[in-house]
Amino acid sequence: MSNFGIAHYHIDLNATLPESPATIDWRKGLLLFLAVLALSVPQAALLPLLDRDEPRFAEASREMLQSGNFIVPTFNHAPRYAKPPLIYWCQAISYLVFGENAFAARLPSLLATAATACLLMTWGTRLGSEQMGLGAALSYAFCFQTIQQGRVATADALLIFFMTLTAFTGWLIFRPKTPGCPRRVCFVVLAIGVAGGFLAKGPEALIPILPLFWCARGAGRNIILGLIASFFIGLALVLLWAIPAYIQTHGDYWRQGLSEGVGQRMVGGLQGHGASSTLGYLLGVLLYYPLFFLLGALPVWPLLLIHRKKIFDGWRLDLADTYLLLNAALIILVFSLMVTKLPHYTLPAFPFLALLFARRRWSVGFSPGLLTELGWVSAIIFFLLAFVGIPIALASHATPSPVGELVRQAGNALTPETNCSAAGYLEPNVVWEFRRVSNKFVTVVSQDAIYETLDQPGPQAMILPTVAWKARVGSTGIHPAPEKKDIFPLQPNLFPPSSPPPLNAKEDNTFPSSWKIFEARGFNAAKGRFIDLTLVVKP
């Protein structure tokens, strides 16, 4: 390791840099919270829901609110066991205040990210200086990975907040002579952190417990017993939801959501996210996460490379450094060993690494003001890119939600009584967008049953790829789809020539003039390519 300028370092759990005795200025913390929140609003408010996870979470929360069942979430009326219910509860509350839209679905994540930044500022102020804490907070809140994943309508931001809260509260409990820290309150908050993290995403929220007990092992019998009690109280709070969920689903929530979901991520590639061979797995461990970690930690990590010798040379780990490093290393280790791999899986380690890096720079004499300035510059750049770039992209028909564009085009043609279906395009965004206007759930039909489905009694609406619709109506229909150059050729096996004509379709493939046809082109974020979609509405 000497080639990287790292000489040697020692671990001394009894040594520690002096903590700041100054009280935390709550007004500055509030300003930081509001600033992080405000600078994230354009990204959250202007972008439609992306990928597959955001619509799943957002729609499940809406269905929870509509059904009144706050124990077992559903997606398109089918049980959704993928995650515990905390994110759905938070999104449902947000809908009550701001309506059912992308911003309201993302608001819990925005609040959690801003709250995590405040935790880092408070923790950093206690460990060194207010400027150091602010630098750590901004380094986390406006690094590329947090910008990309910390503000989306999923459970990750909530998980990170509660994991950071658990670790910080544990630090306040076992750290000797911590000023202004009533331990009884901290024990209660620790239990809330354990319960909140578990309810946010599951057992991975318990990772900070291991470094906590390791570093607190010499803190005294009463503190250890208090930590154990807080841990089990937190789990007991989880049972207030878990037991009714177990009863309602006859154990399926536990088996599918926790046992199978977590187990599959450990030993197999879930939903195609993972290697299919041992060599691919090893390459993922050695290359996948290091590469995405470096990209995700921009723009901070180049400072680590530039000043690596001064930062690491002769590093003597004290109790705080050891605690932060153990938390970050354990998170990275656990998620790196999983077969299922996504870039944001190691994001929970970023708060600890941001604080550790800010503390190292402060301890070796670098001004922490540079991290603060870099954080604000990154925040403003991302704000301007979102505020200006997203409207330009949407105006150029590069929307990541062509389904949403079709629903907006249809307007009053869609009613709450419209029966909705999809053929050949089964992205979760279809359910989210259709159910913004319709009370009906979305049915999936085969492409051979397009006419049969649309010709059923009552108002009907169907989303399908434009190439599939053109293959049915051709150029002889009463309202043929306008000719448009398509970058994706028509797949010959979509409708085999030998297949029988659909029911209620005329021999010349025409359709009633009362049917309304809408087309939109957009970017399918889930598959990373552009797609043309058609919406057919029968009044």
How sure is the predictor about 7, in pLDDT bands with cuts at 50, 70 and 90?
Answer: very low
* 14 within a domain of the structure (yes/no): no
The verdict on 191 and 293 lying in the same domain is yes
C-alpha angle 103/379/49, rounded to 5°? 25
Mutual angle of helices 183-201 and 156-174, in 10-degree steps: 160
Burial of 408 (0-12, 13-18, 19+ CB in 10 A): middle
Stretch 293-322: mean pLDDT, rounded?
Answer: 82
pLDDT value, residue 276: 46
* 7 within a domain of the structure (yes/no): no
pLDDT value, residue 281: 53
The verdict on 382 and 421 lying in the same domain is no
**Overall size of the chain counted in residues:** 539
Amino acid at position 258, single letter: L
pLDDT value, residue 361: 87
Q: Looking at the 3D structure of the chain, how many domains does it have?
A: 2
Please tell me which residue, 258 or 466, carries the higher pLDDT value: 466
* 5 within a domain of the structure (yes/no): no
pLDDT at residue 504 tops 80: no
Lowest mean pLDDT across 43-52, 285-294, 303-312, 314-323: 285-294
pLDDT value, residue 26: 84
* 8 within a domain of the structure (yes/no): no
The verdict on 416 and 520 lying in the same domain is yes
Residue where one domain finishes, among candidates 360, 391, 422: 391
Find out whether 162 and 67 touch, Cβ atoms under 8 Å: no
Radius of gyration of the CA atoms of the chain, in A: 26
Find out whether 190 and 168 touch, Cβ atoms under 8 Å: no
Stretch 396-419: mean pLDDT, rounded?
Answer: 88
pLDDT at residue 373 tops 50: yes
Question: 363: domain range?
Answer: 24-391
Percent of the chain with pLDDT over 90: 52
* 439 within a domain of the structure (yes/no): yes
Stretch 486-497: mean pLDDT, rounded?
Answer: 34
The verdict on 422 and 500 lying in the same domain is yes
pLDDT value, residue 179: 59
What number of CA atoms fall less than 13 Å from residue 310's CA on the CB side?
11
Q: What rounded mean pLDDT belongs to the chain?
A: 82
How sure is the predictor about 157, in pLDDT bands with cuts at 50, 70 and 90?
Answer: very high
Exposure string (b/e) for 190-200, b if CB count within 10 Å is 16 or more?
bbbbbbbbbbb
How do residues 256-278 score in pLDDT, each as one tens digit? Answer: 776 555 545 544 444 544 444 55
Note the helical H segments in 51-155: 53-67, 86-98, 102-127, 130-141, 144-149
The verdict on 167 and 86 lying in the same domain is yes
The token pair at 151 is 């503000």
The verdict on 254 and 183 lying in the same domain is yes
Lowest mean pLDDT across 74-83, 174-183, 393-402: 174-183
Task: Give the DSSP letter of residue 15.
Answer: -
The token pair at 114 is 């801003």
Residue 365: how many other CB atoms lie within 10 Å = 7
Exposure string (b/e) for 245-268, b if CB count within 10 Å is 16 or more?
bbeebeeebeebbbeebbebbeee
* 4 within a domain of the structure (yes/no): no
Read off φ and ψ for residue 464, nearest 5 degrees.
-155, 160
The verdict on 158 and 285 lying in the same domain is yes
The residues that bridge with 273 in the sheet, in sequence order, are 270
pLDDT at residue 146 tops 80: yes
Residue where one domain finishes, among candidates 361, 391, 421: 391
Q: Left, alpha or beta for 440 (phi > 0: left; psi -120 to 50: alpha)? A: beta
pLDDT at residue 342 tops 90: no
CA–centroid distance for 45 within its chain: 16
pLDDT value, residue 289: 62
pLDDT value, residue 478: 37
The verdict on 387 and 406 lying in the same domain is no
The verdict on 327 and 216 lying in the same domain is yes
* 17 within a domain of the structure (yes/no): no
The verdict on 248 and 305 lying in the same domain is yes
pLDDT at residue 111 tops 60: yes
Stretch 96-125: mean pLDDT, rounded?
Answer: 96
How do residues 15-26 score in pLDDT, each as one tens digit? Answer: 444 565 556 788
In order, the DSSP letters of 171-217 are: HHHHSTT-TT--HHHHHHHHHHHHHHHHHHHSGGGGTTHHHHHHHTT
Please tell me which residue, 58 or 522, carries the higher pLDDT value: 58
Residue where one domain finishes, among candidates 349, 372, 391: 391
* 1 within a domain of the structure (yes/no): no
What is the β-pairing status of strands 529-538 and 516-524? antiparallel
User: Taking the alpha carbons of 113, 118, 124, 127 in that order, is the dihedral positive or negative?
Assistant: negative
The verdict on 413 and 460 lying in the same domain is yes
Find out whether 515 and 477 touch, Cβ atoms under 8 Å: no
How sure is the predictor about 232, in pLDDT bands with cuts at 50, 70 and 90?
Answer: very high
Residue 268 and residue 280: Cα distance in Å, rounded? 12
Stretch 228-249: mean pLDDT, rounded?
Answer: 95
The verdict on 482 and 352 lying in the same domain is no
Find out whether 398 and 422 touch, Cβ atoms under 8 Å: no
Lowest mean pLDDT across 126-140, 150-164, 285-299: 285-299
